[in-house]
Amino acid sequence: MTMTTAPPTTSPDPVSVPVEPPPKRLKLHGRAFYESIGSPKRIVAPMVDASELAWRILSRKYNADAAYSPMLHARLFAETEPYRRQSLRYAPTSDTEPALSYDGEPKSDRPFLIQFCANDPQHLLAAAKTAQHHCDAVDLNLGCPQGIARKGHYGAFLQEQPDLIYKLINTLHKELDIPVTAKIRILDTKAKTLEYAKMVLDAGASILTVHGRRRDQKSHNTGLADWSYIRYLRENLPPETVIFANGNILYNADVEACLEVTGADGVMCAETNLYNPAVFMPPTASFEEKFPRVDVMVRQYLQIVRDLTFGEGNPVVELSKERYREHASLTCVKSHLFRLLHAVFNKKEYHYIRNTLGKATGHRFNEILELADELEKVVEEQLKLTPETPEQWDEIMKEAGGPGADAKILRIPWWRCQPYVRPTPQQAYENGAMQKSKKELNAASKGSKEPKRELDAESAASDSKEGTKRQKVEEPQSEQIKANDQLASLESNVSG
């Protein structure tokens, strides 16, 4: 492929600010709002640097019903124009601007919710008022458990300040032209979680997303989400409450199982969506549709990024670093490809592809496209050596005891999109990826019991066929452990 230099006069400008907002629309609340956007059941989660426009378009192609923006910082969005330009692509305001897709475009990006993290009601309101004309609702992140959220005092680290949370949500509920929604994590007990959920709803949230993990369940200590908490909320909140469940989705069948077990209206997926965007395909879909070839998925994804960046049918040109940073979908390409290709990179013979990707630069997009060409050759050569048959696909599904069963992890071929199976906390201890704290070591040396990191007594008592019945994870091979540890560093960017 040849590289040309972009003429400055023809370089597309995807971030023009609208002259004036559209007419004010009728504001709905709760289930009426949920139904007005089509009652979505399969939702792409808000993820830092991961649920940007190109990825949402790809996910919708594979049966996602709704999607959230990446988590945006409210104060920065309200006060910093470069941050807004990098975070949100606006619709063109004149016929002279390139006809590129944009965030919240009716034909390609709805239903669309924009998520903010915040700890100041006025900063949040200012950001939300700027964003509200580009989405169906504004969401407050109360679930991020990462260190950056602790340092910035937002996300799950607001749990101890219910008055502040109430004010954040209620301010948007009263002042915005569109609904406000919220995403939370569960607390120590079901009773406390119910009280927390009621407060969020009373403040004005139209949709409540519940991640079935506690704040300390992250990274190698992620463990299993507890669906029984979500079921408890479903049974103890008013029936008109709209609930999205989040956590424990590895395969397509898990989406249907989660809906049945929790009674939730919809299922939100984050991490697995990044490794296999086809996770939302319906139960009736074929094996090939549920686990697409990685080269096909990469090619489709890169075509979307190309069209968003340069315009459909236009040549690929080298961008300056400044212009490159303004294209959110372009800046996320490498991290997305590392996740899509994690099974490929477990094979030593293909480490050269991983190394090539690591050295590639996003502002030279042709380098990424050439990598896709190489990936296509590798998969085609493999399929000549080991042709696939429907009988083999059926056998793979039977290994797990049938669709939706939790007996073991499916053995998906490395050339197909598949979930990243995170080691359990016990496996992380054993392979050295996680170490016990001084408090735990002192407790162990004194002969006392280690702090329990799984379900509390209340959850354990109710954990039967319903609730948390997730997968038994097979012991990973040593090579897989090393690759998983590398991939885990990427996940620190994914919002909770």
| Higher local confidence (pLDDT), 230 or 405 | 230
Q: Average pLDDT in the 345-371 region?
A: 93
**Tokens 């509920």 found at:** 173
> For the chain, what are the domain ranges?
28-285, 294-385
Q: Describe the crossing of helices 252-262 and 227-236 by its angle, rounded to 10 degrees.
A: 40
| Higher local confidence (pLDDT), 448 or 285 | 285
CA distance 156 to 256: 27
Q: Which of 117, 135, 144, 417 is catalytic?
A: 144
Query: Can you give the pLDDT at residue 155?
Result: 96
Which run of H or of E encompasses 137?
strand 137-142
Cα-based torsion angle of the residue sequence 451, 454, 458, 462 in order, rounded to the nearest 10 degrees: -150
Question: How would you label 188-213 residue by residue, b for 16+ Cβ within 10 Å and e otherwise?
Answer: eebeebbebbbbbbebbbbbbbbbbb
| Higher local confidence (pLDDT), 101 or 298 | 298
Per-residue pLDDT of 62-111, as tens digits, reads 999 999 999 999 999 999 999 999 999 987 765 656 668 899 999 999 99
**Are 164 and 119 spatial neighbours (Cβ–Cβ below 8 Å)?**
yes
Least confident of 226-240, 252-266, 392-406, 411-425: 392-406
CA distance 156 to 143: 4
Query: Can you give the pLDDT at residue 277?
Result: 98
Under CATH, which number does the domain 28-285 receive? 3.20.20.70
Query: Can you give the pLDDT at residue 220?
Result: 62
With 80 as the cut, is the pLDDT of residue 424 above it?
no
| Higher local confidence (pLDDT), 175 or 396 | 175
| Higher local confidence (pLDDT), 130 or 19 | 130
Query: Can you give the pLDDT at residue 432?
Result: 67
Query: Can you give the pLDDT at residue 222?
Result: 73
Query: Can you give the pLDDT at residue 67?
Result: 98
Helices (runs of H) and strands (runs of E) counted in the chain: 23, 11
Q: How confident is the model at residue 129 (pLDDT cuts 50, 70, 90)?
A: very high
Least confident of 178-182, 187-191, 228-232, 470-474: 470-474
Query: Can you give the pLDDT at residue 327?
Result: 87
Q: Average pLDDT in the 260-280 region?
A: 97
Query: Can you give the pLDDT at residue 128?
Result: 98
Per-residue pLDDT of 310-341, as tens digits, reads 999 899 999 888 888 888 889 999 999 999 99
Q: Average pLDDT in the 13-20 region?
A: 48
| Higher local confidence (pLDDT), 434 or 117 | 117
Query: Can you give the pLDDT at residue 464?
Result: 35
Helical H runs in 204-249? 227-236
**Are 423 and 284 spatial neighbours (Cβ–Cβ below 8 Å)?**
no
Tokens at residue 459, please? 């959850």
Query: Can you give the pLDDT at residue 22?
Result: 58
Question: How would you label 80-96 residue by residue, b for 16+ Cβ within 10 Å and e otherwise?
Answer: eeeebbbbbbbbbeeee
With 50 as the cut, is the pLDDT of residue 482 above it?
no
To the query of whether residue 144 is one of the catalytic residues in this protein, the response is yes
